[in-house]
Amino acid sequence: MISLSINGTNHDVDVEASTPLLYVLRNDLDFKGPRFGCGLAQCGACTVLVDGVATRSCVTPVSAVRGQITTLEGLARNGRLDPLQQAWIDEQVPQCGYCQNGQILTARALLNANPNPTDSEIRAGMEGVLCRCMSYYRIQAAIKRAAGQSTAAFYNASPAAAKSGVTT
Amino acid sequence: MTRHRPGLTLPSEIAEAVHSINPSTSRRGFLKASGALFISAYLGVNPTGRALAQAASGSAGPYPIPDYRQLDTWIVIHPDNTATFHVGKTDGGQGTGTAYRQMMCDELDIAYDRAVLIMGNTDITPDQGGSGGSDGIEVDGWPMRRTAAEARRVLLELASDSLDTPVAELTVNNGTVSVVSNSSRSVTYAELIGGRRFDVTLTGDNINQTRGLADVKPVQDLRVIGQSLPRYDIPAKVDGSLTWAVDVKLPGMVHARNVRPPVAGATLASVDEASVSGLPGFVAVVRRRNYLAVVFEREEQAINGARALRAEWTPPAEAAFPRSADLFDFMRVQTPTSSSRTVITGDPDAAFAVAARVLEADYEVPFQGHTAIGPAHALADPSNGLMTIYSNDMKIYGLRLGVARFLAMPEDRVRAIYMDGPQVYGRTAADDVGFEAAFLAKELGRPVRVQWSRDEETAWDTKGPAYTFRMRGALDATGRPVAIEYEARSLDYNHVGYNEPDTVLIAQLMGLRPAQPAQGGAALPSSQYGIEHQRMVGHVVSLPMIWETPLRCGNLRDPNGPQVTYAFEAFIDEMATAANADPVEFRLSMIEDSTEDALFRKARSLATVRAAAESYGWDNRPSPNPLMAAASSPIVNGRGIAYTFRSGTVVAIIADVEVNRETGRIFVRRLVCAHDCGLVINPMGMKYTVECGMLHGLSRALWEEVRFDNEKVTSVDWASHPTLRHSDTPESIEVIIVNGDPNPDRPDMPHYGAGEACHKPMIAAVANAFHDATGVRLRRVPFRPESVLEALRQQIS
Ligand code: FES
Ligand code: FES
């Protein structure tokens, strides 16, 4: 049995230790936020936060996870959307929306580490998250819209997260 | 602590459809077990189940083909005075679902938030062909508007009886009909027909012609159309609550992975099933000729099983195709398998013979892929001798018909249900994978989910065809363009079928194939230029291997437009430079000379090009920019324009680029797009789709190329097949909505398409801006740093 803490709830799963976290989240626990895009840590579609750090669940063995997992569906708090999610709606960011899980969670990690990023810090921080609908312009607008609003980090970022904001 | 089990997870509207349409497959508790999200939470109403039940009543078979000539197929009014609309389209994320709902609400006279719209359920929604060609608003929007207008007409007649008042003395406001002179006398749509059928037969020889007796409203009376309403599908895509096609789970479902030939055209000699049959979760190895798949209980087991399976493949005797580096030379020397009619205007030979100046240039565009962010996937359920396919295929009706033929099942035993998925932008492996899932499900008698891998998708998905072009142009002594010649070579579309089960990859690997490829390809430019002497022709050539190949062409966003417009508009720019003319003025004067004016495209083209130039702040001068030639810094800037039209939509894009002459990097700082697509249904949605369509074009301009050796595709992931990224995003994008119609207030203003038109001139705009900055022409796509440096070096040498 492997224990996972996801969006504040504990889950026990009985799977091979090497199973990528992505498949446990999607197939055993029915989370729909993290999605398969490449399985190669190249696109970001499968992103979850682990202690506030953007983590690619497609290449993370379930047994290697140490810390609190947050998925897209766990980002809202007390019935209120994360300011980034609200900004995503206000800016009407998605086209198909398939990549947006990774965009939103990576942006969350970025803002946790750097609440008021410059344009070039946004570009650099988001560089590894791909969108094949090319909604980048609206994504960047939404991050700028939300940036001022996140006075306190929404999640408790780990020291590592505070340094880089993003891991891949 | 909770222990979850995989349950059935479907959005409520689809789950209810499953119940209401076919009680024999109804699974009670389905929704409860799912804990599923309710799309209706964002809509305020959830009339869907009743709507579907009503739509289905009287159906002849398990999954009848909806009759587009019945008003009830399109529109249902519920007892709570809400409406459900059924349309045969899909929304790949361009917000067309929201736009369709706006159009139908407006004609029906019901508030936007009192209606829902269901798309692409093949047994519930009429067959409008799914999506493609940016024609959803332009073509399919008309039967939607007319059927909604007809429903309003019928309801007004019912109200006239009920209120004992002539129709002319009635008015409608948000689903309530009242007497003009006495508004206390009123009746709601629900009171008139809620929960019951219209039983009104429509006319029209095909679905696009569908109409009743009512006319649509004049533009002046439209209220919901034209509003920038937020897209209804976005909240659930942002909070993680949407159930996508990838999320559907069924009891007993197993996971399959394809095992592709290691090289194109290889023959499967033998399979060692024992190499995987001992692995945990093993279900089956399925083989038909060269089609091979493994099936396991769990997804990660299937991934490992596909890697572990030992199989012997015999490579083909002949090379399947030339190497990508040799592709264009190969294409130029092949004998065409077909050619377009040569379109000749005037006497081009005579004009070239006496011209003061003759220019020539060749252009090249490689194969480019759809390469969706999420690889192809589908789930097929073979329960009860039926077949249900959950898919994001935008040709969902073709999938249903094709699978029925492929599996030799009656068509009314098969249905395909469209659900959201990663963007496809054309004919992709989303077509293929539905066939694979259905085939495996039928073989195994269990629900099977097939998921393609990243490298499988990038290598084996259909491709936009490569092109070579030879352009010639002639100027007279004053610099006026007098003649132009266009000769294109492209590749056949061997996998473009709609309903034909032999055009998909699995069928080809099984040895089924059509008699010959679809010709497609080698399109001619959309030219509005009044050049007196013209010759235009396109040829199609074939690669050595036509079937079972990863280099199979299928429509990619405006299938030939970006390639053709690149060559044509880049060459027009070369002519402008040779004439020492300003590129905007040069184009405007050629449009002025045009005698062609279908859809008022002449006036609209002039207005659009002028709007782009004005919004950009274009100053009149020839290219290249003389200041840049003298610049000593490695960074130089330039601006470039490209203009075209697609069907009724006219578009002009100005790109402002920064070129680093030391690194070869092109950065597009600013994009200005002037866009005339007639009546705009939702300005905000349209603008954002245009932004993304332009950036998709920019990705194709800067990065995208399918590379291959003699036997396989070698660009297979995001490292070997780069795409546009955040750092490439322009600092500013402006989309200007133009109405260049000579009678801009006409009450019958048509609505044309968006999404592809803006994609079309993007490559040319970048190439022209690069020339303005550097004085160098980029004649081969993509413009990656290494090719840019090479082009700059050639200029020096
Ligand atoms: S799916 Fe994990 S990074 Fe692409
Ligand atoms: S919105 Fe479609 S991939 Fe990003």
Q: Categorise residue A7: left if φ over 0, alpha if ψ from -120 to 50, beta otherwise.
A: left
Q: Given an 8 Å threshold on Cβ–Cβ distance, is A28 in contact with B727?
A: no
Give residue B373's pLDDT: 98
What is the ipTM, given to two decimal places? 0.93
B307 touching A, CB under 8 A? no
Q: Which residue ranges have their beta carbon within 6 Å of ligand 1?
A: A 36-39, 41-46, 56, 58
> What residues in A contact B231, CB-CB < 8 Å?
92
Alpha-carbon distance of B662 to A136, in angstroms, equals: 26
Backbone angles phi, psi at B275, to 5 degrees: -70, -15
How many other C-beta atoms lie within 10 A of the C-beta of residue B625?
A: 19
Nearest chain B alpha carbon to A71:
B240
**HEC letters along B249-313:** CCCCCEEEEECCCCCCCCEEEEEECHHHHCCCCEEEEEEECCEEEEEECCHHHHHHHHHHCEEEE
Residue type, B120: G
Residues from chain B contacting residue A38 (CB–CB below 8 Å): 454, 717-718
Can you tell me which atom of ligand 1 is nearest the CA of A42? 3
Which residue from B minimizes the CA distance to A88?
Answer: B238
**In a 10 Å sphere around its CB, with 0-12 CB exposed, 13-18 middle and 19+ buried, how is residue B383 labelled?**
middle
User: What distance in Å separates the CA atoms of residue A122 and residue A144, rounded to the nearest whole number?
Assistant: 8
Half-sphere exposure of B629 (CA within 13 A, CB side): 10
- Candidates A72, A127, A137, partner chain B, best to mutate (most B CBs within 10 A): A137
- Separation between Cα atoms, residue B761 and residue B567, nearest integer Å: 10
Proximal ligand: closest to the CA of A59 = 1
Q: Which residues of A touch B691 (CB under 8 A)?
A: 134, 137-138
| Parts of chain A with a pLDDT under 70 | 150-168
Task: Say which amino acid occupies A22.
Answer: L
Rounded (10°) angle between helices A119-126 and A100-113: 130
Say which of B243, B454, B726 has its CB closest to residue A38. B454
Shortest-distance ligand to the CA of residue B424: 2
Residue B586, min C-alpha distance to chain A (Å): 32
CA distance B289 to B268: 7
pLDDT tens, B609-641? 999 999 999 999 999 999 998 889 999 999 999
- CATH code 3.30.365.10 region(s) in chain B: 12-238, 245-317+376-452, 596-796
Residue of A nearest to B92 (CA): A96
Chain A contact for B373 (CB, 8 A cutoff):
yes
**CA-to-CA distance for B740 and B742, rounded, in angstroms?**
6
Helix (H) or strand (E) holding B369: strand B368-369
Backbone conformation region of residue B38, classed left if phi is above 0, alpha if psi is from -120 to 50, else beta: beta
Contact between B234 and A71 using a beta-carbon 8 Å cutoff: no
pLDDT of residue B16: 47
* Nearest alpha carbon to residue B81 among B225, B195, B158: B195
Asked if B423's CB is within 8 angstroms of A133's CB, the reply is yes
| CA B231 to ligand 1 centroid distance, Å | 27
d(CA A12, CA A14): 7
CATH class of the domain at B596-796: alpha beta
CA-A39 nearest atom, ligand 1: 1
For residue B44 the two structure tokens come to 């305020």
Please choose from A42, A47, A89, A100 the residue to mutate so as to test ligand 2's pocket, defined by most ligand atoms within 8 A of CB.
A100
Residues within 6 Å of ligand 2 by CB: A 94-100, 131-133, 135; B 93, 373, 422-423
For A99, the closest chain B residue by CA position comes to B373
A137 contacts B4? CB cut-off 8 A = no
- Give the pLDDT of residue B497: 63
Closest chain B C-alpha to A55 CA, distance in angstroms = 17
How many angstroms separate the alpha carbon of residue B706 from the centre of ligand 2? Answer: 21
Ligand 2 atom closest to the CA of A96, numbered from 1 = 2
pLDDT at B442: 98
CA distance A7 to A78: 12
Please give the CATH topology (third level) of the domain spanning B12-238: Aldehyde Oxidoreductase; domain 4 (3.30.365)
Ligand 1 centroid to residue A47 C-alpha, Å:
7
Q: Give the residue on A whose Cα is nearest the Cα of B684.
A: A92
Q: Which two tokens stand for residue A119?
A: 């344009």
Instruction: Give residue B27's pLDDT.
Output: 29
**Residue of chain A whose alpha carbon sits nearest to that of B692:** A134
Q: In B, which residues are within 8 Å of A94 by CB distance?
A: 93, 234, 237-238
Q: Test B238 with A136 for CB contact under 8 angstroms.
A: no
How far are the Cα atoms of B271, B313, B370, B672 from residue B262, in angstroms, in the given order? 14, 8, 21, 45
Find residues 423-482 of chain B whose CB sits inside 8 Å of chain A: 423, 451, 453-454
The answer to whether B58 faces chain A, any CB pair under 8 Å, is: no
Q: Report how far Cα B633 is from the mean position of its chain's Cα atoms.
A: 42
B327-to-B21, B461, B797 alpha-carbon distances in Å: 51, 19, 26
B430, B389 contact by CB (below 8 A): no
Write down the pLDDT at residue B36.
29
Indicate which residue's Cα is closest to atom 3 of ligand 1. Answer: A41
Beta bridge partners of B362: B470
CA of B375, nearest ligand number: 1
Which of A37, A94, A139 lies nearest to residue B234, judging by beta carbons? A94
Q: Which residues 251-280 on chain B approach chain A with CB closer than 8 angstroms?
A: 280
B residues 681..710 contacting A (CB < 8 A) = 684-685, 688-689, 691-692, 695-696, 698-699
Cβ contact B237–A100 (<8 Å) = yes
A35 alpha carbon – ligand 1 mean position (Å): 8
pLDDT at B496: 63
What letter would DSSP give residue B175? T
Burial label for A163, CB within 10 Å (0-12, 13-18, 19+), is: exposed
Q: Does B176 touch chain A (CB under 8 A)?
A: no
Of the residues B228, B301, B373, B727, the best mutation for testing chain A's interface (the one with the most A CB atoms within 10 Å of its CB) is: B373
Of residues A39, A43, A94, nearest to B237 (C-beta)? A94
Measured CA distances, B264 to B259, B261, B505, B744 (Å): 13, 6, 12, 54
Q: Tell me whether residues A30 and B6 touch, CB distance under 8 A.
A: yes
Residue of B nearest to A128 (CA): B725
Instruction: Indicate the fold that domain B245-317+376-452 takes in CATH.
Output: Aldehyde Oxidoreductase; domain 4 (3.30.365)
Kind of pairing between the strands at B83-87 and B75-77: antiparallel
Q: A23, B299: Cβ pair inside 8 Å?
A: yes
Give me B492's structure tokens. 């056949």
Ordered by where they begin, the domains of chain A are 2-73 (3.10.20.30), 83-155 (1.10.150.120)
Is A123 within 8 Å of B667 (Cβ atoms)?
A: no
Ligand number, closest to the Cα atom of A37: 1
Q: Which residues of B touch A140 (CB under 8 A)?
A: 726, 729
Q: How far apart are CA B83 and CA B190, in angstroms?
A: 9
Q: Which helix (H) or strand (E) holds B364?
A: strand B357-365
Weakly modelled stretches of chain B, pLDDT under 70: 1-61, 494-499, 519-521, 797
